Amino acid sequence: MSLLITLVKGFAGKPSHAPLTDASIGAYTVGVAMLIAGAAGLEQAAMAKGALLAVSGGLIAAIPTVVTGLLDYFDLPKRTAARTLATYHLCVMLAATALFVATWLGQRQGYLDGTVTTPGLILGIGAFALLVIGGTLGGALAYVYGVRVIKRDVPIADALIPGRLEASGTRTAGSGARTDWTGWSVRN
């Protein structure tokens, strides 16, 4: 069971959540771009259909994205700055997902009529704004707090300078265990 969860979450230094977010964010972006292009009068009939298909793809990709995101979330120690930020990320992303569901429902009739609906367009733009905010918060978790980034047993500063590792004697090439923030060990 724990192996299965590890497979779902991804191994140390190989998180599953981050690449999955590319699929859903990219599909939503395509959908909203098509809503805007169609509303602006560019190939409206094709854009109306394409937008719904792309948002559908985004919602499908959101399922594994939410599952892996929640698994990572519950691994974060409570009452830490990273966990607080993750809670905001979670709330904003759930709201964005709900708005994309509403966008889908709003554009459903437009798919059949070949038109971009006003509710679909407005909900889509609102959902996209939340998506950008939520995505930025998620990026901050990885890049500010190093969530799911491998922690090394030597300062990265030293690891970057050719020759300094050998000189400092902290680590010889090929040895030394490293962990990511969840404490999973990874062979070097």
Partner 1 sequence: MSLELTKRIAEAVPPWLDDAAKQAQAPVQQFFSARPRLHNLLDGTWLGVPLHPALTDVPMGAWTSAFALDLVAALTGSEAANQAADGALAVGIAGALPAAATGTADWRDLIGEERRIATVHALLNVAGLFLNVSSLAQRLRGNRGAGRALSAAGLAISGSAAHLGGELSFGLGVRVNHTFADTQPSEYVAVADETELQGQDVKAVTADGTSVLIARSQSGELCAIANTCSHLGGPLNEGTRDGDVIACPWHGSRFDLCSGAVVEGPAVFAQPRYEVRTNGGKIELRAPTDH
- Interface residues with partner 1 (CB under 8 A) are 11, 13-15, 18-19, 21-30, 33-34, 37, 43, 46-47, 49-51, 53-54, 57-58, 61, 111, 135-136, 139-140, 142-146, 148-152, 155-158, 160, 162, 180, 186-187
**Least distance (Å) between residue 170 CB and partner 1:** 13
Nearest-approach distance from CB 70 to partner 1, in angstroms: 19
Query: Which residue's CB is nearer to partner 1, number 25 or number 123?
Result: 25
Q: In angstroms, give the least distance from the CB of 81 to partner 1.
A: 8
Our CB check for partner 1 shows the closer of 21 and 123 to be 21
**CA 20 vs CA 33, 67, 78, 85, 138: distances in Å:** 20, 10, 25, 20, 12
**Comparison of 108 and 151: residue with beta carbon closer to partner 1:** 151
Minimal distance, residue 73 CB to partner 1, in Å: 17
